[in-house]
Amino acid sequence: MSLATTYSPTDVEAKWYQRWQEQGFFKASPNPAKEPYTIVIPPPNVTGVLHMGHMLNNTIQDVLIRRARMQGKEACWVPGTDHASIATEAKVVALLKEQGIEKKDLTREQFLEHAFAWKDKYGGIILEQLKQLGASCDWDRTRFTMEPDLTEAVLKVFVDLYRKGLIYRGVRMVNWDPQGGTAISDEEVIPKNVTAKMYHLRYEIVGQPGEYLTVATSRPETIMADVAVAVNPTDERFKNLAGKKVRIPLLGREIPVIFDEYVSVDFGTGALKVTPAHDLNDYNLGVKHNLEVIDILNDNGTLNEKAVLYVGQDRFAARRNIVADLESAGLLAKIEEYASIVQTSERTKAVIEPKLSLQWFLKMEHLAKPALDVVENDTVKLHPAKFKNTYRVWMENVRDWCISRQLWWGQQIPAYYLPDGSFVVALTPAEALEQAREQSGNASLQLSDLRQDEDVLDTWFSSWLWSISVFDGFKDPNNADISYFYPTNDLVTGPDILFFWVARMIMAGLEFRQEIPFKNVYLTGIVRDAQGRKMSKQLGNSPDPLDLIAQFGADGVRTGMLFSAPAGNDLLYDEKLVEQGRNFCNKLWNAFRLISGWQVDETLPFANEKAVTWFGSKLADAVTTLDDHFEKFRISDALMTVYKLTWDDFCANYLEMIKPAYQQPIDAETLRQTKAYLESLLKLLHPFMPFITEELWHELAARDARDYVTVAAWPQPAPVADSADIIAGMDQALAVVQGIRTVRNQKSLGPNKPLQLIAKTDEQSLFTAYEGIIRKLGGLSELSFAETGLAGAVSFVQGGSEFFIPLEGHIDLAAERVKLEKELEYTQGFHKATSAKLSNEKFVANAKPDLVERERQKLADAEAKIAALEAALKGL
């Protein structure tokens, strides 16, 4: 047969993916005769396109699901997308603006028509891209967090938790995203290190003209919302201010000076402006001291009429203007710069405003305790386990979850308001009307009299139900899918959503099914560039994954990503890794080309029993090691195990051992065993490299219609008698071969020049047993044994044996002697200089210890080299 000299991914990837789908290999259904293995995909946002993090995460999932499928399990990988309330609404609003349409001019229903049209057009892009990566999801099971059944599940859960007293509505300080126009949860807030400014402002003391209390603030634009200035009662500087008031700069409004132990004596000026509407700690102080609340900010971050000054200006523009006016009025004492942290919105990147807002909240303490217990006792295992500490800290300090969002794209909260302002919570409008009539005692109430809450639920309130809702576990808690596939087995995700999603899914599983949602959580690292920066399109440091696939092939990219991707540790991406993945594909391709080019002679006796038995032992050991790595979620180590088995043991050593001489046939038994070994390697490699392994599987032998490597049986360890001794013996033989090759390289002898090897050893029987392999791989004309060394030969030591290669006739001995003598002279001079430096007591006493240690190491290295050169000269 004729094969291309190099592997061409574009010729095979689309072909095999289509055939896998046509054969239905990725489909899963309840099968009592088989063990289920289930993964639910972390649903990417419908706004998303494939990035490097997706590549890593989904490659790992695919490796796990393909191996499980080969193990004979009913492997079910559920795909889907998340509606991503904030991000998607922003995309749709921007698109409408381009068309000259403002959201405010649309009804909710009209806006949702546009949003669903956008989702239908763009929302499935990332799933199609995952197919190019080779993701073997059951695409018939694709779900969307806002599809009707999943929306109904969300509403059922809301109603259930409300009736349990776990959901409530109230005014609380929330994280407000002025750009998104919505509240967001604590977990959606990203801290950003910045250099901030501290403004020292003069508040005039009422009744003491010309005397001021200096207050430090980083947000001078909020002084119009001040209701007090607080100082510590133990601070001697302010004892004279008891009962006093001060005037807000520029505004002139009088506010009291209050005393509270909360105020730090050492921070700033020791005097704290109290703005309850715009700071959580200030809000708590305000409650304690019964202070007024003045909210001066609109939802979009502009100042409202309560500010009196700078009304309508953006908060940051107002800051610039008020600082200039304070300076002109002589009320700005100074400005200092300091390192600070600004809280930003994960989605819009806008600076968060703490804001008092009427929102819906979910009490978390009841849900968090059991979800912490199952991780602490390893009912749910985190990989790596170091994340248990992070998980524990968050769960022990959990705060109530703000679940309402001021958006239209999402599940609308099922709360209905009566004309008197009271409300009912119900799954449907009809149920709401029935409850409202009963609650109000007014049987004549109509649906038109009720107003549904305008807010939608946080996107995560959908996705925390994902592992149940994708199997319709809320629609029918006992249906065949949920009963068979739940709890799922492994979840693969990033540590950045350990609380966003993982913890909440555990809470949901325990609350609604009294069962954990998954048994293992594999936490991937973050893909970073060589400088350690997180890869992103904004930084311009991230390659396009599809371009990488086009250039290197999906298998090359998959293996390249996994070569250095230990669980929980960040991956420093280097394109050389992907090149290495492509080269590995070519190595495997060429190994097959070599084997397929051999002619077989059925009359020849079995000539390679020792090599065949050795590789069988190596294969059995590798399968055991590989399974252990998978069991412990060491996916990168698993890949390296089969990589070394294939590249080093099979290609570099085994095939060279058995390769017939030029234009000579191979015996039938060796070829049969070799093809069987290659078939086993294709199976072991398939989860990592699905496309090339499927191509070679079908090239290797004629296959039945359903005989694909993707559903072939995963290899089982096949112990070989005396395998430890066989491997140890071959290791020694290969070490001798490496010694010969080193001499060839050092003496520029080339691989094809026949050499003699003379062994001085107590293990003559061992080397006699492996003589054929040593001679073949070492390119020897003769292997003999002697009691003593040999003059005119170069030597090397392996274990307790010494080996000599006569150089006469291969090199110019006189020239070699001159070369060695010059090198010896130079090394002796270096040794003398280094020794003199170390004999200098002042140097040893004054130099840094690590410098002295380096000099001592140089001396030891020189002594070793001198001994080796003298021995080489003696040999000549």
Helix (H, G, I), strand (E, B) or coil at 211: coil
> Rounded CA gap, 583 and 559, in Å?
10
Helix (H, G, I), strand (E, B) or coil at 363: coil
**Cβ–Cβ contacts within 10 Å for residue 536, how many?**
14
**Cβ–Cβ contacts within 10 Å for residue 24, how many?**
11
Helix (H, G, I), strand (E, B) or coil at 12: coil
pLDDT at 811 over 80: no
Whole-number pLDDT of residue 638: 97
Residue 33's φ and ψ, nearest 5 degrees, are -80, -10
| Mean pLDDT for the stretch of residues 157-170 | 97
Residue 760's φ and ψ, nearest 5 degrees, are -110, 105
**What tens digit of pLDDT does each residue of 677-724 get?**
999 999 999 999 999 999 999 999 999 999 999 999 999 988 777 888
| Mean pLDDT for the stretch of residues 127-133 | 95
Could you tell me the two tokens for 534?
């997180």
Peptide bond into 384 cis (omega under 30): yes
Q: What angle do CA 117, 123, 128 make, to 5 degrees?
A: 135
**What tens digit of pLDDT does each residue of 543-558 get?**
888 999 999 999 999 9
Q: Is the dihedral of CA 346, 349, 353, 355 positive or negative?
A: negative
Residue 681's φ and ψ, nearest 5 degrees, are -65, -40
Local confidence band at 180 (pLDDT 50, 70, 90 cut-offs): confident
- 182-354 shares its CATH topology with 725-806: no
Q: Are residues 271 and 333 in contact, defined by beta-carbon separation less than 8 angstroms?
A: no
DSSP string, 230-247: EE-TT-GGGGGGTT-EEE
Task: Give, in order, the Cα–Cα distances in Å from 515 to each of 29, 120, 355, 392, 505.
Answer: 21, 35, 37, 20, 11
> Rounded CA gap, 836 and 843, in Å?
10
Strand partners, 202: 214
pLDDT at 866 over 70: yes
What CATH number does the domain located at 182-354 have?
Answer: 3.90.740.10
> Rounded CA gap, 141 and 154, in Å?
19
Which residue's structure tokens are 């794209």? 409
Helix (H) or strand (E) holding 359: strand 353-362
| Mean pLDDT for the stretch of residues 727-734 | 92
> Rounded CA gap, 792 and 804, in Å?
9
Residue 353's φ and ψ, nearest 5 degrees, are -110, 125
> Rounded CA gap, 370 and 207, in Å?
59
- pTM of the predicted model, to two decimals? 0.84
- Whether domain 725-806 has CATH 1.20.120: the reply is no
Local confidence band at 393 (pLDDT 50, 70, 90 cut-offs): very high
Local confidence band at 243 (pLDDT 50, 70, 90 cut-offs): very high
**What tens digit of pLDDT does each residue of 32-55 get?**
999 999 999 999 999 888 888 889
Whole-number pLDDT of residue 845: 85
Report which of 752, 743, 755 is spatially closest to residue 794, judged by C-alpha positions: 743
What letter does residue 806 receive in the DSSP assignment? E
Helix (H, G, I), strand (E, B) or coil at 628: helix
Sheet containing strand 381-383, strands side by side: 381-383, 520-523, 490-493
Task: Give, in order, the Cα–Cα distances in Å from 729 to each of 165, 403, 610, 740.
Answer: 71, 66, 10, 17
> Rounded CA gap, 344 and 355, in Å?
14
Whole-number pLDDT of residue 401: 93
Residue 52's φ and ψ, nearest 5 degrees, are -65, -35
> Rounded CA gap, 271 and 280, in Å?
17
Q: What is the 3-state secondary structure (H, E, C) of 19-40?
A: HHHHHCCCCCCCCCCCCEEEEE
Whole-number pLDDT of residue 324: 97
The verdict on whether residue 537 carries a ligand-binding annotation is yes
Q: Are residues 37 and 68 in contact, defined by beta-carbon separation less than 8 angstroms?
A: yes
Could you tell me the two tokens for 461?
């309130």
The alpha carbons of the chain give a radius of gyration, in whole angstroms, of 37
Q: Are residues 65 and 37 in contact, defined by beta-carbon separation less than 8 angstroms?
A: yes
Helix (H, G, I), strand (E, B) or coil at 8: coil
| Mean pLDDT for the stretch of residues 656-665 | 93
**What tens digit of pLDDT does each residue of 580-617 get?**
999 999 999 999 999 999 999 999 999 999 999 999 99
Q: How is the chain split into domains, by residue range?
A: 182-354, 545-720, 725-806, 813-875
Query: In 738-779, at which residue ranges do the beta strands (DSSP E only) sit?
Result: 755-760
How far is CA 633 from its chain centroid? 14
**What tens digit of pLDDT does each residue of 618-653 get?**
999 999 999 999 999 999 999 999 999 999 999 999
> Of all residues in the chain, what percent carry a pLDDT higher than 70?
98
Strand-pair category, 401-402 with 353-362:
antiparallel
Whole-number pLDDT of residue 301: 94
> Rounded CA gap, 874 and 791, in Å?
7
Local confidence band at 172 (pLDDT 50, 70, 90 cut-offs): confident
Whole-number pLDDT of residue 420: 93
Report which of 36, 221, 24 is spatially closest to residue 139, judged by C-alpha positions: 24
Local confidence band at 538 (pLDDT 50, 70, 90 cut-offs): low
> Rounded CA gap, 652 and 674, in Å?
14
Pick the CATH number of 545-720 from 3.20.20.220, 1.10.15.40, 1.10.630.10, 1.10.730.10: 1.10.730.10
**What tens digit of pLDDT does each residue of 772-783 get?**
999 999 999 999
Whole-number pLDDT of residue 719: 79
| Mean pLDDT for the stretch of residues 726-749 | 90
- What is the overall mean pLDDT for the chain? 92
| Mean pLDDT for the stretch of residues 257-265 | 93
> Rounded CA gap, 604 and 667, in Å?
5
Residue 280 identity: L
**Crossing angle of the two packed helices 575-596 and 545-552, in degrees rounded to 10:** 30
> Rounded CA gap, 551 and 578, in Å?
10
> Rounded CA gap, 19 and 705, in Å?
11
What letter does residue 813 receive in the DSSP assignment? H
pLDDT at 154 over 80: yes
Report which of 642, 644, 616 is spatially closest to residue 627, judged by C-alpha positions: 642
Mean pLDDT is lowest, of 151-165, 520-534, 662-676, for 520-534
Mean pLDDT is lowest, of 155-169, 667-681, 834-848, for 834-848
Whole-number pLDDT of residue 525: 85
User: 62 Cβ partners below 8 Å, 6+ apart?
Assistant: 77, 133, 134, 135, 136, 558, 687, 690
Report which of 287, 166, 154, 303 is spatially closest to residue 222, judged by C-alpha positions: 303
Whole-number pLDDT of residue 859: 86
Local confidence band at 404 (pLDDT 50, 70, 90 cut-offs): very high
> Rounded CA gap, 16 and 690, in Å?
9
Helix (H) or strand (E) holding 776: helix 771-778
Q: Is the dihedral of CA 628, 629, 633, 638 positive or negative?
A: negative
Task: Give, in order, the Cα–Cα distances in Å from 746 to each of 401, 439, 636, 679.
Answer: 69, 95, 35, 38
Q: What angle do CA 801, 803, 805 make, to 5 degrees?
A: 180
